[in-house]
């Protein structure tokens, strides 16, 4: 169902070179200041560098060692910048392909709404409320709403879907997107987004990370990391006094090395890359989020409201059976049903014709030659049908046909079997459609809702994630219950009106739950706005698209499930790397503390569990490990920790084992290996 | 280690576990305002207090009002005690005719008792009159403990309530804690201790002539009444300088057992009260289990280390079958001394029945680490619960992210504000402990107080500031703390450890109370199982360990390693 665009390779040459350049550009203090942990790292690196320069001209000792530590300190900062740059670079690559479509177009703005005379205005100067004329072959100059006309539009630029779509004024398919091309006909479009804030613009700035705001959880995590860093400020700043007490001294460079290895640089460095990558993953799924906050909220969703039609069931109900009244043959009913449906272009109507042909070999007949008059469905009669050769055939909902037949045939014209059969069909999840000829009820067409294949498994998956699914349908409760059971949703809302949807969301929210829903129509807009995560369909109205905080370009309502997964993955990746980062500190202490006090308390070498060669090699190994681990974890940050739809307990146990225990053990091995390497080369 | 020693430790733990639920239930009913057995005899007194003070017991306070009321109350307590100590010479119940305390000692002592620390820079029997002990110190043993209980309840109400603006009434909590919990238990305990041979009189000290013909002054006084609340309120301030090692302050094995039981009684019970308030006793048992794990590991380590004896003596070929007995009372032995030491430092009690200074380096490390972890292993009355709840917030935040949801604890989402406040509270520990130790280890005023050199001297300073900041009050001895420098800096450390922690903690309570409740789902990480307990223990140990590792390495660890090579300090 989902059309996932190919992700660029993790380390594409074309991405790496500019990312390296950007890593240096990002040394700008204003950029660094956005990330507290890395900012502190840069600050102490600068301090160490200044002292080093001072030492060169003074009576500096161990200059080679100091120089190496300082180089790795700066690498730590650069690697962090690189991680962010590469995530942004991947986004930019995505954005570039989007931008190709955003060529400068000239819009034909109507001079006055009534007239057809236009003046040419560059698309970049369009204002909200301008009405533009778009002809066959023109690019639509900006996001807007069709106020007049019907057109086929090629939206492949944003959806990747090559088949053109129909857009028309009024109704639920009136929104058009800037950068898409009109293939036929002429439309008048009222511009709804100013230049620079159109859909495409927003999409580009989102994937590039330019308009990225920190999400609530990211802010909280940043505070935690800053707090941890402060703890390590106290831990390291108190060491010189302790050393003085013990009758020795510790060089600043060693203190700086200890401090930088202790503060959570790993997660600090990768935090923004994780956020940008999450957004990119979403865009690759063809979902456009208006903010990172919405993506994060998706991970927290407790309740998912899904429209039945098109999401849980195939959009169209299909005729599955002709159920006859006493004294009527099936062929007779099939004949009448087919005749009444020949001009009915709805999918349901066509399926009746198909069933009649398959089961009774009734071929299509030319209504015109039969001198028939087709009666279309109206909201007043709630029936459709045909008058042909004096036969008056009507089909419609049970109660409308009952009322119709009783009106012309009297109270007892309707056989009691009608209600029985109708109830049986409804209980099975179908929709009964009665057929009558004159005052005689012939029988019932069983319109069956077809539940999408595989949807049941997906709902089971959601249940394991702890998400409740609620099906929204206009059907009566009986039908709704049957389909709900077949599809495996947790709950349903039957005979739902748009305001019921809103009320349900409010009720769930009042219980403290986060609600996600998707919708397309204008009457969905209030509910989309109320929901914590509202995914609007690209095919929907502008009102719906404005109200939601995400837009699905594929208009696939089941995409919500992917969105939830991406939101969870985002949080998990942050948590996993934070745990890893903090757990790493244990090994770093065991590397640096004995080395630091080697001159004062040689006994502490018992804590040198890794048997690192010399105090200097120990310190250098720790700082090198600390820098390299950032690079090593970039792929994980970009890809995200794999999310498995299991309960929270097993999920946490697994992640704690991998990232907690792994984080304890990995640096012991890594630092030892680096120590072996640098001792072998003889760097210190 | 002996089987006998372990049996005593396990009997203690079993009895504590058995008492947790009944005590927790009692506390729950008391603070919920339900009718209890004591309502009839004492209810009129409670209502009388409210009427006198003009407190409407039905009106609740916001976190700000609650905190301000608590701070105002404590300020008044501090000033009153400070003045009392300065005026001691003119006050009654002073048969020995003790004079006024120096201003710096009075400052230190007043803060010490108001903050429930009970650090003592003085020797009780040579400094304090009976009047001061009863009117000053014992009173604060009650109210500082009651304050702690109130604060813990306020935080728990923050978790338990939904979209609420109030978290209880400080005056009501204070009154109920004193009247229905601390006083009745203390009276019963004091009578028990008197039966065990503890003095309770107002007589002047007895002068005796020993068999060797040496004159000896036998100190006494209203001991039992102060000792009961000293333990129950996890205060720990000894009547005598030798604290619970003094035969009058801890005469028998039975009195010793009762005292250590009293230390953990309310902190353990409060975990259950917490569970009841958040409508899941399992939540309380989870905290109880995490505390128990840390407690038992501490006891085992300390007991093991002390049973090994002094490594230096061992290398000299001297066998020490009963372990390191230096600084320990023979009537308690290694098992009960290490059990007492672990309990008194787990809870922020600080009473001692053996000299921690004389423990082996590793044995002495346990009490120090217990305090550095923030006094959350049962902890001080109330203080232990609110301390571990803040750790739980951090643990759930880090781990909660790993299940892919905004972390939540007890249905409350943990967001930036809570993390900020929690970190603020947790940060005061290293700031005060490491900061003051660093300062005193380079200043001559600091170094002047040391009895030993090298790492052991360092441990003495580190222990003192850790004890003060953690509001424990136990001393590593050795350190001469009654100097203006130590009195003032330790006083400030106690203030930071108590109030700089409490204010952000209360703000967290307010923020939590205002939050909506999110019902748990399959996607919510359950905070009642073994995984949560392991996680909480892990976070407490790792956060505490990472913070203090360099300091510990330079104190007890280096000393231990040096002793192994035959070098003592």
In chain A, where are the structural domains located?
13-93+207-283+564-681, 127-194, 301-312+452-553, 317-448
Q: CATH homologous superfamily of domain A317-448? A: Calcium-transporting ATPase, cytoplasmic domain N (3.40.1110.10)
Name the minimum distance, in Å, from the CA of B558 to any CA of chain A. Answer: 6
**How far apart (Å, rounded) are the C-alpha atoms in residues B98 and B147?**
30
**Among the four given CATH numbers 2.60.40.420, 3.90.1150.10, 3.30.70.890, 2.70.150.10, the one describing domain A127-194:** 2.70.150.10
Give the mutation candidate from A587, A603, A643, A660 for the B interface (greatest B CB count, under 10 A): A603
Give the mutation candidate from A222, A238, A463 for the B interface (greatest B CB count, under 10 A): A238
**How far apart (Å, rounded) are the C-alpha atoms in residues A160 and A152?**
16
Contact call for A579 and B402, based on CB within 8 A: yes
B163 sits in the region (left: phi over 0; alpha: psi -120 to 50; else beta) called left
Check residue B504 and give its pLDDT: 96
Measure CB to CB from residue A651 to each of B397, B403, B423 and give the nearest one. B403
**How far apart (Å, rounded) are the C-alpha atoms in residues B329 and B355?**
9
Annotated binding residue A377: yes
**Is the per-residue pLDDT at A210 higher than 60?**
no
Closest CA to A186 of A143, A141, A144, A132: A132
**How far apart (Å, rounded) are the C-alpha atoms in residues A550 and A569?**
18
Measure CB to CB from residue B518 to each of A513, A571, A604 and give the nearest one. A513
Q: CATH homologous superfamily of domain A301-312+452-553? A: HAD superfamily/HAD-like (3.40.50.1000)
Q: Which of B33-37, B184-188, B447-451 has the highest mean pLDDT?
A: B184-188
**How far apart (Å, rounded) are the C-alpha atoms in residues A117 and A131?**
11
Q: Range with the lowest mean pLDDT among A225-234, A576-585, B469-478?
A: B469-478
Check residue B553 and give its pLDDT: 92
Determine whether B541 is exposed, middle or buried from the number of CB atoms within 10 Å of its CB (0-12, 13-18, 19+): middle
Closest CA to A274 of A39, A84, A449: A84
| Contacts B431 to A, Cβ<8 Å | 234
Contact call for A238 and B434, based on CB within 8 A: yes
Contact call for B522 and A463, based on CB within 8 A: yes
**How far apart (Å, rounded) are the C-alpha atoms in residues A304 and B475?**
59
| Contacts A263 to B, Cβ<8 Å | none
**Is the per-residue pLDDT at A32 higher than 80?**
yes
Q: What is the mean pLDDT of chain A?
A: 84
Of the two residues A54 and A371, the one the predictor is more confident about is A54
> How distant is the alpha carbon of residue A364 from its chain centre?
46
Band (pLDDT 50/70/90 cuts) for residue A2 is very low
Half-sphere exposure of B323 (CA within 13 A, CB side): 25
Check residue A367 and give its pLDDT: 60
Q: What is the 3-state secondary structure (H, E, C) of A324-351?
A: ECCCCCHHHHHHHHHHHHCCCCCHHHHH
What DSSP letter does each residue of A572-601 carry, written as one string? Answer: HHHHHHHHHHHHHHHHHHHHHHHHHTTTT-
Annotated binding residue A205: no
Contact call for B401 and A597, based on CB within 8 A: no
**10 Å Cβ neighbour count for B348?**
37
Measure CB to CB from residue A512 to each of B427, B516, B542 and give the nearest one. B516
Contact call for B442 and A241, based on CB within 8 A: yes
Whole-angstrom CA distances from B20 to B16, B23, B157, B390, B554 are 6, 5, 20, 21, 39
Check residue A171 and give its pLDDT: 67
| Contacts A296 to B, Cβ<8 Å | 406
| Contacts A656 to B, Cβ<8 Å | 399, 402, 531, 535
**Is the per-residue pLDDT at A519 higher than 80?**
no
Check residue B390 and give its pLDDT: 94
Band (pLDDT 50/70/90 cuts) for residue A644 is confident
**Is the per-residue pLDDT at A5 higher than 60?**
no
Check residue A645 and give its pLDDT: 78
**10 Å Cβ neighbour count for B301?**
17
Element (H, E) at B253: helix B253-277
| Contacts B519 to A, Cβ<8 Å | 302, 511-513
Q: What are phi and psi of A174, to 5 degrees?
A: -100, -10
Q: Range with the lowest mean pLDDT among A91-95, A363-367, B144-148?
A: A363-367
Of the two residues B100 and A280, the one the predictor is more confident about is B100
Contact call for A512 and B517, based on CB within 8 A: yes
DSSP conformational letter for A613: S
Half-sphere exposure of A212 (CA within 13 A, CB side): 26
Per-residue pLDDT of B287-312, as tens digits, reads 999 999 999 999 999 999 999 888 77
Check residue B83 and give its pLDDT: 95
**Is the per-residue pLDDT at A200 higher than 70?**
no
Annotated binding residue A28: no
Determine whether A397 is exposed, middle or buried from the number of CB atoms within 10 Å of its CB (0-12, 13-18, 19+): middle
Per-residue pLDDT of B60-106, as tens digits, reads 999 999 999 999 999 999 999 999 999 998 998 888 889 899 999 99
Name the minimum distance, in Å, from the CA of A670 to any CA of chain B. Answer: 20
Band (pLDDT 50/70/90 cuts) for residue B9 is very high
**Is the per-residue pLDDT at A12 higher than 80?**
no
Per-residue pLDDT of A39-73, as tens digits, reads 999 999 999 999 999 888 876 677 889 999 999 99
User: End-to-end distance of chain B based on CA atoms, in angstroms?
Assistant: 26
Please give the share of chain B, as a percent, with pLDDT higher than 70.
Answer: 100
| Helix ranges restricted to H, A301-329 | none
| Helix ranges restricted to H, B3-62 | 3-31, 39-53
**10 Å Cβ neighbour count for B49?**
17
> A164 and A183 in contact (C-beta within 8 Å)?
yes
Annotated binding residue A380: yes
Residues 6+ apart with CB under 8 A from B395: B532, B535, B536, B538, B539, B540
Contact call for B441 and A597, based on CB within 8 A: no
Of the two residues B560 and B533, the one the predictor is more confident about is B533
Please give the share of chain B, as a percent, with pLDDT higher than 90.
Answer: 69
**10 Å Cβ neighbour count for A293?**
18
**How far apart (Å, rounded) are the C-alpha atoms in residues B53 and B171?**
9
Q: Range with the lowest mean pLDDT among A215-224, A270-279, A457-466, B338-347?
A: A457-466
| Helix ranges restricted to H, A195-291 | 199-208, 216-237, 239-245, 252-262, 265-284
Residues of A with catalytic function: 307
Q: Which residue of A has its CA nearest to B554?
A: A242
Average pLDDT over residues B533-561: 91
Of the two residues A35 and A174, the one the predictor is more confident about is A35
A135 sits in the region (left: phi over 0; alpha: psi -120 to 50; else beta) called beta
pTM for the full predicted model:
0.86
Per-residue pLDDT of A71-103, as tens digits, reads 999 999 999 999 999 988 887 777 776 666 555
Residues 6+ apart with CB under 8 A from A231: B426, B427, B430, B543, B546, B547
> B166 and B60 in contact (C-beta within 8 Å)?
yes
**Is the per-residue pLDDT at A126 higher than 60?**
yes
Contact call for B546 and A643, based on CB within 8 A: no
Annotated binding residue A378: yes
Element (H, E) at A148: strand A144-148
- b/e sequence B306-329, b meaning 16+ C-beta within 10 Å: bbbbbbbeeeeeeebeebbbbebb
> A637 and A270 in contact (C-beta within 8 Å)?
yes
| Contacts B399 to A, Cβ<8 Å | 575, 579, 652, 656
Give the mutation candidate from A297, A462, A591, A652 for the B interface (greatest B CB count, under 10 A): A652
Q: Which residue of B has its CA nearest to A236?
A: B550
Band (pLDDT 50/70/90 cuts) for residue B510 is very high
Residues 6+ apart with CB under 8 A from A134: A108, A140, A141, A151, A182, A186, A187, A188, A189
Check residue B506 and give its pLDDT: 96
Beta strands in A513-650 (DSSP E): 515-519, 533-537, 550-552
Measure CB to CB from residue B561 to each of A244, A571, A603 and give the nearest one. A603
> A293 and A655 in contact (C-beta within 8 Å)?
no
**Is the per-residue pLDDT at A364 higher than 70?**
no
Measure CB to CB from residue B521 to each of A231, A240, A466 and give the nearest one. A466
Name the minimum distance, in Å, from the CA of A276 to any CA of chain B. Answer: 17
| Contacts B415 to A, Cβ<8 Å | 216-217, 220
Half-sphere exposure of B491 (CA within 13 A, CB side): 19
Check residue A458 and give its pLDDT: 84
**10 Å Cβ neighbour count for A104?**
9
Contact call for A242 and B549, based on CB within 8 A: no
Check residue A116 and give its pLDDT: 74
Give the mutation candidate from B286, B312, B403 for the A interface (greatest A CB count, under 10 A): B403
Whole-angstrom CA distances from A210 to A170, A437, A540, A549, B110 are 35, 66, 27, 18, 57
Measure CB to CB from residue B438 to each of A221, A242, A583 and give the nearest one. A242
Check residue A10 and give its pLDDT: 60
Element (H, E) at A187: strand A187-191
| Contacts A645 to B, Cβ<8 Å | none
Contact call for B525 and A652, based on CB within 8 A: yes
Band (pLDDT 50/70/90 cuts) for residue A684 is confident
Q: Which residue of B has its CA nearest to A583?
A: B542
Band (pLDDT 50/70/90 cuts) for residue A180 is confident
Closest CA to A265 of A662, A630, A672, A658: A630
Closest CA to B549 of A608, A606, A586: A586
Per-residue pLDDT of B386-399, as tens digits, reads 999 999 999 999 88
A213: three-class secondary structure by DSSP: coil
Across the A:B interface, residue pairs with CB atoms under 8 Å apart total: 214
Contact call for B437 and A242, based on CB within 8 A: yes
Annotated binding residue A382: yes
Does the CA dihedral A205-A209-A210-A213 come out positive or negative? positive
Closest CA to A332 of A412, A410, A438: A438
**Is the per-residue pLDDT at A677 higher than 90?**
yes
> A298 and A564 in contact (C-beta within 8 Å)?
yes
**10 Å Cβ neighbour count for B178?**
23
> B476 and B356 in contact (C-beta within 8 Å)?
yes
Contact call for A465 and B522, based on CB within 8 A: yes
Of the two residues B552 and A346, the one the predictor is more confident about is B552
Closest CA to A549 of A290, A299, A302, A177: A290
């Amino acid at each position: 169902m989902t059309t996932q665009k190919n992700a660029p390779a993790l380390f594409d040459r074309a991405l790496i070179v500019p990312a390296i350049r950007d890593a240096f550009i990002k040394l700008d203090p204003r950029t660094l200041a956005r990330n507290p942990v890395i900012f502190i790292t840069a600050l102490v690196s600068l301090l160490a560098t200044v002292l080093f320069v001072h030492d060169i001209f003074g009576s500096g000792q161990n200059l080679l060692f100091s120089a190496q530590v300082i180089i790795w300190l700066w690498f730590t900062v650069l690697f962090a910048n690189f991680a962010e740059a590469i995530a942004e670079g991947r986004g930019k690559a995505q954005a570039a392909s989007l931008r190709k479509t955003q060529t400068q177009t000239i819009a034909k703005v109507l001079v006055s709404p009534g007239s057809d005379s236009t003046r040419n205005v560059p698309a970049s100067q369009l204002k909200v409320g301008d009405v533009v004329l778009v002809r066959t072959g023109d690019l639509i100059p900006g996001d807007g709403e069709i106020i007049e006309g019907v057109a086929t539009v090629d939206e492949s630029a944003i959806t990747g879907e090559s088949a053109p779509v129909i857009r028309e004024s009024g109704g639920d398919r009136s929104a058009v997107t800037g950068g898409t091309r009109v293939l036929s006909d002429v439309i008048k479009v009222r511009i709804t987004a100013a230049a620079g804030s159109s859909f495409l613009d927003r999409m580009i700035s989102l994937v590039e990370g330019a308009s990225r705001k920190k999400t609530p959880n990211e802010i909280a995590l940043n505070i935690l990391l800053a707090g941890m860093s402060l703890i390590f400020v106290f831990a390291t700043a108190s060491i010189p006094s302790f050393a003085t007490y013990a009758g020795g001294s510790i060089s600043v460079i060693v203190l700086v090395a200890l401090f930088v290895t202790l503060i959570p640089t790993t997660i600090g460095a990768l935090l923004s890359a994780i956020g940008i990558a999450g957004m990119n993953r979403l865009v690759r799924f063809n979902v456009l989020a208006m903010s990172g906050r919405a993506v994060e909220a998706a991970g927290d969703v407790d309740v998912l409201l899904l429209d039945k039609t098109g999401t849980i069931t195939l959009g169209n109900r299909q005729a599955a059976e002709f159920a006859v009244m006493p004294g009527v043959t099936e062929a007779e009913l099939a004949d009448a049903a087919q005749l009444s449906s020949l001009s009915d272009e709805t999918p349901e109507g066509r399926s009746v014709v198909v069933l009649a042909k398959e089961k009774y070999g009734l071929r299509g007949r030319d209504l015109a030659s039969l001198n028939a008059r087709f009666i279309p469905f109206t909201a007043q009669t709630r029936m459709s049908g045909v008058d042909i050769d004096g036969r008056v055939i009507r089909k419609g909902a049970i109660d409308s046909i009952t009322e119709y037949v009783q009106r012309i045939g009297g109270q007892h014209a309707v056989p009691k079997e009608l209600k029985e059969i109708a109830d049986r069909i409804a209980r099975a999840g179908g929709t009964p459609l009665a057929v009558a000829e004159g005052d005689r009820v012939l029988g019932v067409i069983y319109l069956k809702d077809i539940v999408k294949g595989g949807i049941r498994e997906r709902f089971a998956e959601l249940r394991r994630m702890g998400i409740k699914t609620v099906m929204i349908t206009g059907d009566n409760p009986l039908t709704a219950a049957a389909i709900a059971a077949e599809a495996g949703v947790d709950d349903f809302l039957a005979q739902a009106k748009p305001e019921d949807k809103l009320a349900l969301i409010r009720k769930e929210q009042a219980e403290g739950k986060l609600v996600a829903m998707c919708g397309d129509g204008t009457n969905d807009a209030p509910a989309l706005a109320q929901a914590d995560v509202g995914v609007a369909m690209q095919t929907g109205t502008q009102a719906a698209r404005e109200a939601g905080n995400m837009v699905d370009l594929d208009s696939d309502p089941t995409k919500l499930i992917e969105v939830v997964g991406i939101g969870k993955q985002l949080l998990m990746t942050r948590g996993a790397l934070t745990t890893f980062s903090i757990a790493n500190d244990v090994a770093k202490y065991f590397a640096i503390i004995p080395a630091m006090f080697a001159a004062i308390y040689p006994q502490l070498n018992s804590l040198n569990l890794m048997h690192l060669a010399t105090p200097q090699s120990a310190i250098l190994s720790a700082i090198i490990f600390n820098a390299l681990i950032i690079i090593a974890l970039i792929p994980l940050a970009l890809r995200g920790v794999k999310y498995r739809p299991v309960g929270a307990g097993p999920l946490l146990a697994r992640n704690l084992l991998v990232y907690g225990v792994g984080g304890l053990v990995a640096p012991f091995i890594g630092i030892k290996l680096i120590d072996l390497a640098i001792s072998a080369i003889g760097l210190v | 280690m002996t089987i006998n020693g372990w049996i005593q430790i396990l009997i203690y733990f079993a009895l504590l576990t058995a008492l947790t639920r009944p005590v927790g239930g009692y506390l729950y009913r008391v603070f919920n305002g339900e009718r209890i057995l004591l309502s009839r005899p004492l209810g009129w007194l409670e209502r009388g207090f409210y009427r006198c003070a003009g407190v409407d017991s039905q009106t609740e306070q916001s976190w700000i009002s609650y905190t301000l009321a608590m701070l105002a109350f404590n300020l008044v307590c501090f000033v009153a005690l400070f003045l009392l100590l300065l005026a001691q010479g003119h006050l009654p119940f002073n048969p020995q005719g003790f004079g006024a305390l120096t201003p710096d000692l009075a400052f230190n002592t007043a803060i010490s008792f108001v903050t429930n620390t009970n650090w003592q820079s003085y020797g009780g029997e040579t400094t304090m009159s009976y009047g001061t002990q009863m009117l000053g110190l014992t009173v604060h043993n009650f109210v500082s403990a009651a304050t702690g209980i109130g604060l813990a309840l306020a935080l728990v109400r923050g978790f338990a309530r939904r979209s609420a603006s109030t978290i209880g009434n400080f005056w009501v909590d204070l009154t109920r804690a004193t009247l229905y919990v601390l006083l009745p238990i203390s009276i019963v305990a004091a009578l028990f201790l008197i039966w065990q041979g503890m003095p309770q009189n107002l007589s002047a000290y007895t002068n005796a002539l020993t068999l060797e013909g040496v004159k000896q002054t036998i100190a006494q006084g209203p001991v039992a009444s102060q000792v009961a609340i000293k333990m129950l309120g996890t205060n720990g301030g000894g009547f005598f300088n030798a604290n619970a090692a003094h035969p009058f302050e801890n005469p028998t094995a039975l009195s010793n057992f009762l005292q250590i039981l009293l230390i953990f009684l309310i902190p353990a019970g409060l975990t259950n009260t917490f569970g009841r308030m958040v409508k899941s006793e399992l939540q309380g048992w989870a905290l109880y289990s995490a505390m128990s794990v840390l407690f038992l590991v501490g006891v085992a380590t300390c007991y093991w280390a002390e049973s090994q004896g002094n490594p230096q003596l061992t290398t000299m070929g001297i066998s020490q079958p009963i372990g390191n007995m230096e600084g320990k009372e023979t009537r308690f032995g290694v098992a009960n001394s290490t059990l007492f030491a672990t309990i008194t430092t787990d809870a922020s009690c600080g009473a001692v029945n053996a000299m921690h200074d004389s423990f082996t380096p590793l044995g002495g490390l346990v009490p120090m680490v217990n305090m550095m972890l923030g006094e959350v292993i049962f902890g001080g009355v109330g203080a232990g619960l609110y301390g571990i709840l803040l750790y739980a917030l951090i643990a759930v935040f880090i781990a909660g992210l790993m299940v892919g949801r905004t972390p939540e604890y007890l249905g409350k989402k943990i967001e930036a504000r809570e993390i900020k406040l929690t970190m603020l509270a947790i940060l005061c520990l290293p700031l005060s402990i490491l900061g003051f130790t660093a300062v005193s280890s380079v200043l001559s005023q600091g170094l002047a107080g040391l009895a030993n050199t090298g790492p052991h001297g360092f441990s003495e300073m580190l222990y003192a500031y850790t004890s003060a900041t953690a509001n424990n009050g136990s001393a590593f001895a050795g350190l001469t703390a009654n100097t203006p420098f130590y009195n003032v800096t330790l006083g400030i450390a106690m203030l930071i450890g108590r109030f700089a922690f409490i204010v952000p903690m209360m703000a967290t309570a307010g923020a939590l109370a205002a939050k909506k409740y999110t019902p748990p789902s399959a996607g919510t990480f359950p905070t009642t199982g073994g995984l949560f307990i392991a996680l909480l223990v892990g976070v407490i140990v790792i956060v505490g360990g990472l913070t203090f590792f360099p300091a510990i390495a330079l104190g007890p660890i280096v000393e231990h390693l040096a002793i192994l090579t035959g070098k003592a300090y």
